[in-house]
Structure 1
Amino acid sequence: MSRHIPGDRPRTTVRRRYVTAALLAGALSGIAACAPSTGGTTATGAGPGAEPSATPVIDTGFNLDKLIAAAKQEGGITVYDSTGDITKTAAAFTAKYGIKATGVKSKVGDTLEKMTRENQAGNVTIDATFYEDGPSLVGQLLAQKVVYTWIPGSLAQDIPAASQNPLQVLSKGNLWVYNPKLSPKGCPVQNIWDLADPAWKGKVAMQDPLSKPNIVEFFNQLKSGGDSQLRAAYQAKYGKDLPAGDSAAETWVKGLARNSPILTSSDDDAAAAVASPNQTKQRVALVSNAKFRDVQDKGYAMRVCTGMQPWAGYQYPKFAAVATKTKHPNAAKLFVYFMLTQAGVDTQMDTGGIPGNAKLKPGAFIPAGLTDWNKQLFVFDPAKLGSDFGNLQTMQDLWRLNHG
């Protein structure tokens, strides 16, 4: 049975909204659709009105003044995001450009379903999305031409090539944290394999992976890109090598699932299970860096597990996409542009983060214990989003079979 701390909603599983891996190859053949541009061209030379392109629309003829003027003629827009910070982004956008923007917090699965239904019905109310589930973005929304990737040409050189397809506007962290009041000598977990060890059975809190897509993506990314580090950490803990024929990531996922983690429906509950002022049980939790707001707002005691091997958590990217059938294409593009500027991205980095535009400054706030985002955290490889999508069901099933 799933374990939930008091106040949790019942555990739910991700709806079977993902197509099978057998459909992936065909689906990915047309990753993005081209909506009217501001007069630019795509990386493959396609212009306004051209056939859908498999590459992002890079607006080489980008003119900000013309885009603003066109956007103001279209009216207000609605943008969905999985964080409540989107309301701050929308308010800042409205203040800067005089265009009404409404930001809506929505779980990625709900956004996926709503945007898909609206596209099929030809009645689009979500003009753009900031989206944290790369596999379903690539494997469904882009592949089915529900959305497309647009990049202003004036900023394309500032965005690393690996972050353009799809367009990454921000990266945040899911971090292993502990309560320094209960563990004053430092994090009681020093190795990722500790989380799968019987000594930590029932003492790890996290969102249910079956309802938090980027956790399953983390598992798949570990399998494709973290094997050597996981094996080294295993050897360091147990003094012996993991059998060569075993997948290190799958072995760890099985161990974690079998260790009866406390599964929650939100980061709020996972953070409370570790760091709330009245907490007396020594635990660790996997939570977003956004939860460090609670240190000041709620009196939580929380630090990142500094020195945890091989990583103290993982970076998860946030992507931007424009609805293919939006009635406000220029306003939607302007909103994406805004998020690629310092004024825009700062609205979502008060608890830290790394902008997708490499020329911008990272978030000034550093969660206690996190000193280097790139060295301490596992970093997703965007080239693996397609395979992550294809392997989603297999990894979910691995978790289901071993949990509870």
Structure 2
Amino acid sequence: MKRLFQAAAFLAAGTLVLPAQADDMNMKSPEELLAGAKAEGQVVVYSFTSRIKKVEAAFEEAYPGIDLVGYDISSTEQITRLQAEYQAGVVNADVIYISDAPVVYDKLLGAGIVTPYVPPRVADRVPAAFKAPLLAQRLSTKVLMYNEEANPNGPPIDNLWALTTEAWKGRVVMVDPLQRGDYLDLMTEIVLQSDAMAEAYEAQFGKKIALSSGARNAGEQFIADLFANDLILVGSTDDVNAAVGKLGQSNPPLGFTSYSDRRDNAEEGWALQLANSVQPSPGIVFPAVIGIAEGAKNPAAARLVIDFLMGDESATGGAGFKPFYVPGDYATRTDITPHPDAVPLSEFAAWRVDPAKTAEIRADIADLVLTLQ
């Protein structure tokens, strides 16, 4: 019955793509997709990054006659919007470019709202772990950053637990984890890494951790202590970046943000730098995934956009990948040369998020954060 309703919706939209036809389209090269994409004339992308505007300009230059309409929508907002549209029987997006994989895999992919697509042109150059259940275009981050102008010799702390001490009271900034899923994933990973957090506590304070009432492990204790130390919650990553990175500060705060935002240092007047040496880890690295909306009105153009986002045959990925070829973003394609100004992925101390494990306790950590605010 669900398939019948979906087929009816596709017909109403003027495009019917049956499963066999979709499978056939999935095997087409960009050149083979182009005629259909031009006939569609448009493609709508929901993107969790504002860099979609740069992709839009580059895509339209590469493929004249196809209008890419990009919407900059946070992952949390995307999930809510896509669920609402699906319930209403409405398909507004063609391509979904999103992070927060623990929720996406469950609530969007599992519900049939988003479907996977791996461009055949690059399939053999993306490791299996990054092709399923959705294609990961790159790895993104939420990590501790500091102001390198004010701290030319490196980060001013060497242990995450230092953030809970009097010296950093009211001087740690992050986006509200209940408003942005990536930051909730960071809090969740800290709990999942409780053994490492317990070891780091002993290294910082010279004694074994004693859990307070209500804390079940070292990770939860750290979160509670961080909030009790007047953690500053803000509304956007840019707010964190400005507070931490602004030039001319003598005693700037530290903050959890995106490593890749160092790309804006010169333009914005920031001095952001990664605190990679902080124990037990500066934060998390996670996949930025791409899929096609179920019932997409422009299926050929959607596939063409995803192929474009994966980069061309050059060493740096060309125009499609240029907005993401920055220090702090890591291509999943094995043949794209790592950015020379970034910490090599092999030396990057951030924890790799396991979406399945994160999903198991994420709601509990959200409840914890709620009680601490």
For normalisation by structure 2, the TM-score amounts to 0.84
Q: Distance in 2 between matches of 1:290 and 1:161?
A: 24
CA contact 2:115–2:294 (8 Å) conserved in 1: yes
State whether structure 2 residue 146 is matched by structure 1 residue 178. Answer: yes
Distance in 2 (CA, whole Å) between partners of 1:402 and 1:354 is 34
Partner of 1:10: none
The answer (yes or no) to whether the contact 1:167–1:319 under 8 Å persists in 2 is yes
Q: Deviations over 1:320-363 (max 9, x none)?
A: 01100111111111111111222322222334411122222233
**Does 1:212 pair with 2:188?**
no
* CA 1:178–1:60: 2 relative to 1, 3 Å: closer
CA separation of 1:65 and 1:293: change in aligned 2, threshold 3 A? closer
| Offset at residue 60 of structure 1 (A) | 7.2
Helix, strand or coil for the counterpart of 1:307? coil
Contact residue 201 and residue 259 of structure 1 kept, 8 A: yes
Of 58, 82, 107 in structure 2, the residue corresponding to residue 115 of structure 1 is 82
2:352 corresponds to which of 370, 380, 386: 380
Unmatched tracts of structure 2, length 5 or more: 1-5, 8-16, 312-316
Q: How does 1:360-379 map to 2 (within 5 A)?
A: 360-366=336-342, 371-379=343-351
- Given the alignment, which residue of 62, 67, 76 partners 2:33? 67
Question: Take 1:241 and 1:73, find their aligned partners in 2: how far apart are those partners?
Answer: 66
Contact 2:258 2:328 (C-alpha < 8 Å) held by counterparts: no
The aligned amino acid for 1:110 is E
In structure 2, how many angstroms separate the alpha carbons of the residues matched to 1:220 and 1:213?
A: 10
1:279 maps to 2:245: no
Q: Which amino acid aligns with 1:169?
A: Q
Contact between 2:116 and 2:134, CA under 8 Å: does it hold in 1?
yes
CA distance 1:102–1:364, shift in 2 (3 Å): farther
Q: Quick one: which amino acid aligns to residue 325 of structure 1?
A: G
Deviation sequence 1:73-131 (CA, Å, 0-9, x none): 21211111121111111221221122221222111122222222333333322111110
Identity %: 26
Task: Identify which of 215, 234, 237 aligns with 1:267.
Answer: 237
Alignment partner, residue 12 of structure 2:
none
Give a deviation string over 1:207-230, Cα, whole Å, max 9, x none.
111112111112223333x23432
* Aligned-residue offset at 1:168: 0.7
In 2 relative to 1, CA 77–392 (structure 1 residues): closer, same or farther, beyond 3 Å? same
User: What's 1:147 paired with?
Assistant: 114
The 3 A distance-change label for structure 1 pair 372 and 211 is same
Out of 76, 85, 95, the position equivalent to 1:128 is 95
Which range is displaced more, 238-247 or 157-166? 238-247
Indicate if the aligned counterparts of 2:45 and 2:70 stay in contact, CA closer than 8 A: yes
Name 2:331's counterpart in structure 1.
355
Structure 2 CA distance for partners of 1:130 and 1:60, relative to 1, 3 Å: closer
Q: 1:107 to 1:100 in 2, by over 3 A?
A: same
Which residues in structure 2 correspond to 1:94-113 (within 5 Å)? 94-98=60-64, 99-113=66-80
User: Does the aligned pair in 1 maintain the 2:285–2:350 contact within 8 Å?
Assistant: yes
Secondary structure of the corresponding residue to residue 33 of structure 2? helix
Q: Contact 1:129–1:320 (CA<8 Å) still a contact in 2? A: yes
Q: Where does 1:49-60 land on structure 2 (aligned, <5 Å)?
A: 49=19
**Deviation of residue 58 (structure 1)?**
10
Shift of residue 48, structure 1, vs aligned partner? 5.4
Could you tell me how far 1:233 is from its partner in structure 2? 1.8
Q: In 2, Cα distance between the equivalents of 1:104 and 1:351? A: 24
Residues 237 and 391 (structure 1), Cα distance of their counterparts in 2 relative to 1, 3 Å cut: same
Assess if the C-alpha contact under 8 Å between 1:170 and 1:345 holds in 2.
no
Separation (CA, whole Å) in 2 of partners of 1:183 and 1:169 = 33
Post-superposition offset of 1:303? 2.5
Question: Which residue matches 2:52?
Answer: 86
Q: Distance in 2 between matches of 1:138 and 1:380?
A: 16
- Return the offset for 1:149: 0.9
Distance 1:299 1:60, change over 3 A: closer
Between 237-246 and 264-273, the greater mean CA deviation after superposition: 237-246
Task: Go from structure 1 to structure 2 and tell me whether the alpha carbon gap of 1:298 and 1:61 turns closer, same or farther (over 3 Å shift).
Answer: closer
Cα RMSD of the aligned pairs, angstroms, is 2.8
Secondary structure of 1:78's partner? strand
Q: Is 2:360 aligned against 1:393?
A: no
Equivalent residue number for residue 314 of structure 2: none
Whether the 8 Å CA contact 1:311–1:376 is kept in 2: the answer is no
Letter paired with 1:310: P
SS in structure 1 of the partner of residue 118 of structure 2: strand
C-alpha separation in 1, matches of 2:156 and 2:24: 48
| Cα distance in structure 1, aligned partners of 2:31 and 2:264 | 40
2:171 aligned partner: 203
Indicate the residue corresponding to 2:296 in structure 1.
Answer: 326
Asked if structure 2 preserves the Cα contact closer than 8 Å seen for 1:58 and 1:152, the reply is: no
What residue number does 1:298 align with? Answer: 268
Deviation at 1:155, TM superposition (A): 2.5
